[in-house]
Amino acid sequence: MIPKTIPSPVRKQKAPAPHTPVPHAPAPAASPGNPLLRLLLLFVLTVGMTTALQAQTLENIEQRVTEFTLENGLHVIVIQRDVAPVASFVTHVNVGSVNEQIGQTGLTHVFEHMAFKGSTTIGTTNWEEEKKVIAQMDDAYRTWLLESRKAEPDQDKLDRLWTEFQALQEDAGQYVVNNEFSQIVELEGAVGLNAFVSADETAFFYSLPQHKAELWFALEADRFINPVMREFYVEKDVIMEERRDRIDNSPFGRLIEEFVSTAFSAFPYKHLPIGWPSDIEAVTIEDALAFYERHYVPSNMTISIAGDVDPEEMRRLAVKYFGPMSAGAPPPKVLTIEPEQRGERRFVIEEDSQPILMIGYHSVDLNHPDAVVLDILSGVLFQGRTSRLYRRLVTEEQKALQVAGFNGFPGDRYPGLFLIYAIPNQGVDLADIEEVIYEELDRIREGDIEESELQRVRTNARASVIRGLASNQGMALNFAQAHGKRGDWRAIFTDLDDMDKITADDLQRVVETYFIKQHRTVGAIRTRDESTASN
């Protein structure tokens, strides 16, 4: 399947100061590193890539992969790559903002921050005393919160409760060893210590010298078997600041948030992973621990290891360190089904900002047979400078600075949206760009598709898979994600085979099926002028 990288989570620079998986402002049109949309700007295959593809066939890779599942349900994938004496380790969890309950949006992100705070043995000088103060602090905060949400709160009582809470928070801080987890692994040669949260998933990863594999198992099992809510309320303040930076103070962030909450009526994709401010404020340590117990169970987790390692040794270490992890109950399933949209939805935000257009059509999840067809369609429309909409809007008619699109927004584990996004050139009305987009969709609806367009997308998709599997980290993360979300890492390769079977008739069919006005949401930012500002 064509890789999708946005709005994928923003990678963290360092674990102690995690970032949120919220879109940033739009990047320039030709930037292949744009973290805002799943831009499909792929390079043309070279002779070297052709050779690499031969080495990356499913049959060749299967010979280097060992898989096993522990008795508690934890699945482990080991990929042998002896190119260097290092290994990359990934812990993937099938939990994202889609799994959050009403009133607890942003909780996935909050817990992800907590995973870098250590455990009952790491990050503390005295856990027995620290946990007593943490419990008292959480009780004090909950009492303050309940009073603050009353219709007529007692201000004197609020002030007294807040003072009590702050004193307990300061008391808890005396036991904290700041950043001890990250310092331990970095002193042992770790690189790329990182994590992300999205609508569908959470992942933690870094690389170590091969002979440090047991250290990874020991530390990783410890932080997920013995989680702590250390500096919980300090991190909530950090998350609130991230939200202000990436949503409240960002025109593009505000557009994204308004867009998903408009496009979805019932399904939890309507909430971004960053969460709503009142929910972030309200969540407590008790809530976070309950969330952990529901979702961080072995059967909901995948470990993937790629590098110069011995599979049997990895099996032994997995049993030793993760075997004691309680199996727990299966995590609750998302049972909500988005009702059929009754008509087109539109909204306009007037901002002191450049105009932006977003169009979304309700589509399918990544395991639906049409998902690959929609990926091919996105490649035909948006992939590279020769794609239909880029060529027409950016190159030929010069109406847009940028145009992009992909299927699976804001997530793809469940039916999401086929998203189209454009930034107009100065003086170009958004309606002009919208009209061109619909014209190109109608051309495909009428059967105007060349086989050469499909082949270009297939070729670029294969090139992208090669790039994604070129490093230990890329291979470990891709395999973990494919198993976690698809049930089998082989889907990385079988999707490419499925692409070869897609015809022009298939593209014509999906446009006819999914790209209808009734199922469309259109959102826009228009630049505020003096006449509108005064009304």
Residue 192 shares a structural domain with residue 205: yes
Helix boundaries (H) for 383-524: 388-389, 430-445, 451-468, 472-486, 491-501, 504-514
* Longest pairwise C-alpha distance within the chain: 74
Confidence (pLDDT) at 4: 52
Residue 315 shares a structural domain with residue 384: no
Domain membership flag for residue 432: yes
Count of domains observed in the chain: 3
Domain membership flag for residue 39: no
Closest CA to 437 of 363, 513, 359: 359
Domain membership flag for residue 276: yes
Indicate the pairing of strand 520-527 with strand 345-351.
parallel
The length of the chain in residues reads 535
Domain finish residue from 139, 160, 175: 175
Residue 378 shares a structural domain with residue 308: no
d(CA 53, CA 70): 33
Residue 447 shares a structural domain with residue 521: yes
Residue 113 shares a structural domain with residue 136: no
Closest CA to 117 of 206, 235, 282, 276: 235
d(CA 309, CA 80): 6
Residue 316 shares a structural domain with residue 427: no
Residue 507 shares a structural domain with residue 391: yes
Confidence (pLDDT) at 110: 95
Confidence (pLDDT) at 66: 97
Q: Report pLDDT digits (tens) over 289-348.
A: 999 999 999 999 999 999 999 999 999 999 999 999 999 999 999 999 999 999 999 999
The ranges of the chain with pLDDT < 50 are: 1-3, 5-55, 530-535
Confidence (pLDDT) at 60: 85
Residue 295 shares a structural domain with residue 185: yes
Confidence (pLDDT) at 477: 96
Confidence (pLDDT) at 50: 36
CATH code: domain of residue 381: 3.30.830.10
Domain membership flag for residue 171: yes
**Token pair listed for 307:** 């590098």
Confidence (pLDDT) at 12: 37
Coil, strand or helix at 523: strand
Domain membership flag for residue 355: yes
Residue 114 shares a structural domain with residue 210: yes
Within its chain, how far is the Cα of 39 from the centroid? Answer: 15
Domain membership flag for residue 264: yes
| Cis peptide preceding 227, ω within 30 of 0 | no
Confidence (pLDDT) at 83: 85
Residue 489 shares a structural domain with residue 449: yes
Domain span including residue 138: 125-175
Residue 242 shares a structural domain with residue 368: no
d(CA 474, CA 487): 18
Domain membership flag for residue 47: no
d(CA 335, CA 411): 16
Closest CA to 422 of 441, 440, 436: 436
Domain finish residue from 322, 355, 374: 322
Rounded (5°) CA angle 93-97-99: 75
φ/ψ region of 51 (left if φ > 0, alpha if ψ in -120 to 50, else beta) reads alpha
Domain membership flag for residue 27: no
Domain finish residue from 295, 322, 349: 322
Residue 157 shares a structural domain with residue 205: no
